[in-house]
């Protein structure tokens, strides 16, 4: 894996993936793209990883978006993969929950990376925005599509058309952010949040996540059909038997992930 993206597999079923081009504000280039692509595939392939956290080694900016030096050289292609799109990340087909843990300015492509994650834990110093229109550009890595699904339409349109950022507290009030923590405690808060997920049966978590994504725009009847299929898969797992058994025996369940 490239040094531009660091990977830590913890012993609590959590992986921490860190954007690590601090001198370039974590701008996306070929190295970052390939590093994220490798990290995503490693998380998906490892049955012992149940949740991943995406964060930054730069305490003033999460990610500056595309590296404009690459754009100027005509190297746009290095910032995309066929499977994951921009940064090898925004369109990658993931089955496990990802939490973005953001420090500082989370703007443009940086916010679009967060919107590609499932949840966000933000430092209280964060700002969030899509300022592309101020430069005659379009946020084209998912922002205009995903932001209105996360916050009220009117506010999403305001952010998209003015290019002005919002602070962490407003982002939390709007439901864009799940948790806000002091900057010095960000990773502690993000890991504690991830552990609230990893105490649960991993297959059931992944099926719930898949259903939430797939049924968002479906009718109740269409959603029920997919839900019944997911329930049938969960009922075949060892964990489905372990949960009720542990409850009856008054002990914590031991999940096998199968």
Our answer to whether residue 8 is catalytic in this structure is no
Of 23, 112, 207, 214, which residue is the catalytic one? 112
Tokens of 11: 């012993």
Query: By CB neighbour count within 10 A (0-12 exposed, 13-18 middle, 19+ buried), where does 142 fall?
Result: buried
Tokens of 106: 């989370």
CA-closest candidate to residue 169, choices 114, 122, 110, 129: 122
Which residues are CB-neighbours of 237 under 8 A, at least 6 positions away?
Answer: 201, 203, 204, 258
Our answer to whether residue 44 is catalytic in this structure is no
Of 132, 158, 222, 242, which residue is the catalytic one? 132
CA distances from 72 to 63, 67, 69, 140, 240 (A): 19, 9, 5, 18, 54
**Does residue 110 sit in helix, strand or coil?**
helix
Beta bridge partners of 110: none
Query: By CB neighbour count within 10 A (0-12 exposed, 13-18 middle, 19+ buried), where does 228 fall?
Result: exposed
Residues designated catalytic? 112, 132
């Amino acid at each position: 894996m490239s040094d531009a993206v660091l990977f830590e597999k913890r012993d609590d079923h959590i992986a921490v993936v860190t954007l690590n081009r601090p001198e370039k504000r974590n701008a996306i280039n070929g190295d970052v793209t390939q590093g994220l692509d490798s990290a995503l595939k490693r998380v998906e392939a490892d049955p012992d990883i149940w949740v991943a956290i995406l964060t930054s080694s730069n305490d003033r900016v999460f990610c500056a978006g595309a590296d404009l030096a690459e754009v100027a050289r005509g190297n746009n292609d290095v910032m995309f993969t066929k499977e994951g799109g921009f940064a090898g990340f925004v369109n990658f087909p993931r089955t496990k929950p990802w939490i973005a843990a953001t420090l500082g300015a989370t703007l443009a492509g940086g916010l679009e990376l967060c919107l590609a994650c499932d949840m966000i834990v933000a430092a209280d110093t964060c700002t969030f925005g899509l300022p592309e229109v101020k430069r005659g550009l379009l946020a084209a890595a998912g922002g205009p599509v995903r932001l209105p699904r996360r916050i009220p339409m009117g506010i999403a349109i305001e952010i998209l058309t003015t290019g002005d950022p919002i602070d962490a507290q407003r982002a939390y009030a709007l439901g864009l952010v799940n948790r806000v923590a002091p900057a010095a405690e960000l990773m502690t808060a993000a890991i504690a949040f991830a552990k609230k997920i990893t105490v649960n049966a991993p297959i059931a978590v992944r099926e719930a996540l898949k259903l939430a994504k797939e049924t968002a725009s479906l009718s109740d009847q269409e959603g029920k059909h997919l839900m019944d299929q997911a329930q049938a898969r969960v009922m075949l797992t060892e964990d489905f038997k372990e949960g009720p058994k542990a409850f009856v025996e008054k002990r914590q369940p031991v999940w096998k992930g199968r």
